[in-house]
Structure 1
Amino acid sequence: MVTGAAGNLGRAVVATLAGRDICLVCVDRSSEELEAFARTLPPKARVLTFAGADLSDPIVAQAMVEAAVDRFGRVDAMVNTIGGFATGPVTTHALAQWDMMMTLNARVALVTSVAVLPVMQAASYGRIVHIAAVPGLKAGAHQAAYAASKAAVIRLTESIAAEHRNDGITANCILPGTIDTPQNRAAMPDAKTTAWVSSSSIAQLIAFLISPAAAVVTGGAIPATGLA
């Protein structure tokens, strides 16, 4: 299960997994973008799309999991790529940004985890991967809301890992560097893009973390910031 499947990182994760004989549940809020992306996948790929999903809503998240179980019988892994980025100073106007970041980053991570964990517990197997960020470890100026929301993702991941060590379930989060996307290039035209990280390289890391081979890795906040 990949949430945010029509986004830059979500697309890379799905594309990486599509050629590995894996049943895919592709979830996104945008019906049009998700369906268009699904049509680009290999014809032999076994894909269920779940579109129009506001995964800050527990009812929607539960419906997503039920649809996956109805189609494929279980959910072995969930990769949650949904998130947002906004910056601004700590002023009287910061509350709206705080609420937005906490919803997009922290609440969605919690709601999706709560929805999928019972199915994984019943199977005594599961892999959960969320996307955090380096500012979740230490915030800079104008990063209060964003950094706090990503710190919440890290702490949530650690708690899930600790609670389910004996259930065959792992939980990890990725701390990417700046991801090389069209949006980031447009927003930072003068940046040194050679130091940026590709979506496909992060997708390869995620593919390992959701594999049986990664059973010994849990509770991690794993940097993926590149070499440059």
Structure 2
Amino acid sequence: MPDAAKLALVTGASRGIGLEAAFALASRGFALFLAAEGTAEELAAAEAGCLARGAPAVAHGLFDLAEPGAAEAMVAAALDRFGRIDLLLNNAGIRCRKAFGTYTREDFARVVAVNLEAAFFASQAVLPAMRAQGAGRIIHVASQMGSVAAEENALYGLTKAALIHLTRNMAFELAREGIQVNSISPGPIATQFNLDTWGRQPGKLDTMVGRVPVGRMGEAREVAEAILFLATAEGGFIQGHDLVVDGGYIIH
């Protein structure tokens, strides 16, 4: 890895927003550590795509972030491979769509573990390295559902609202140490997962598009562009901000 290259650790990097974000960062010269719970083949393909886009170095690892200690092990693996982490992109997330009143404790524990605990403890784990470097950036991928209510989204929305608050509190505490913390809240994005999920419900896609003032679904690359902005913008005066990328979903 060239001395000038910065290292980005991206979770949920094997598909969707995480994959597009990794490609965008690679195109700007970041070295990458890609983490996901998908398959080794998916991560190998993601690694190849990053290298093809100019990343000076890429490594990857499979981690189930619902497991205690997995977030810390992931950070340790990235530091062992590259010796530094300049950007932590906490993108990994899962959903559990149920009517309120039907969630189990198992549902609650797993969604909170992946969507919130993993980001919390990964962020804590990178602090010593970022403090030693004198700078670092942490970006949490939240959701517009952290700001609005919707059917069958009580648990998912809870974790994303907590992630937005975590962003603000971390930013408040870490700003004077040169560590910049922000979040991104994507709206309805045309990832394959969303298209498959909504496509199984008659009329759901049309309903979702109807709620977006710009009249279409967003693309994962559009969220990746916003992530790239927060990852590369000069200076550190954007601090504790939740950048909503939702085509206007939450303004009405």
Q: In structure 2, list runs of 5 or more residues that go unmatched.
A: 1-8, 210-214
Match of 2:237 in 1: 216
Question: Structure 1: how far apart are the matches of 2:155 and 2:22?
Answer: 29
Identical positions, percent: 32
Question: What do the CA deviations read for 1:140-170 (whole angstroms, capped 9, x no partner)?
Answer: 3332111111111111111110110101011
Matched residue type, 1:40:
G
Secondary structure, aligned partner of 2:159: helix
Matched residue type, 1:41:
C
Aligned in 2, Cα 1:131/1:226: closer, same or farther, shift over 3 Å?
same
Match of 2:34 in 1: 26
Question: Structure 2: how far apart are the matches of 1:92 and 1:225?
Answer: 29
Question: Structure 2: how far apart are the matches of 1:58 and 1:47?
Answer: 28
Count of residue pairs the alignment pairs up = 228
1:226 aligns with 2:244: no
1:9 aligns with 2:30: no
TM-score normalised per structure 2: 0.82
Give how far 1:69 is off: 2.6
Aligned in 2, Cα 1:227/1:136: closer, same or farther, shift over 3 Å?
closer
Give how far 1:111 is off: 1.7
Question: Structure 1: how far apart are the matches of 2:146 and 2:125?
Answer: 24
Q: In structure 1, list runs of 5 or more residues that go unmatched.
A: none
TM-score normalised per structure 1: 0.90
Correspondence 1:179-218 to 2 at 5 A: 179-189=189-199, 190=203, 191-192=205-206, 194-213=215-234, 215-218=236-239
- Which of 151, 155, 159 is the matching residue for 2:161? 151
- Which of 47, 72, 81 is the matching residue for 2:82? 72
Secondary structure, aligned partner of 1:18: helix
Moved over 4 A (4+): none
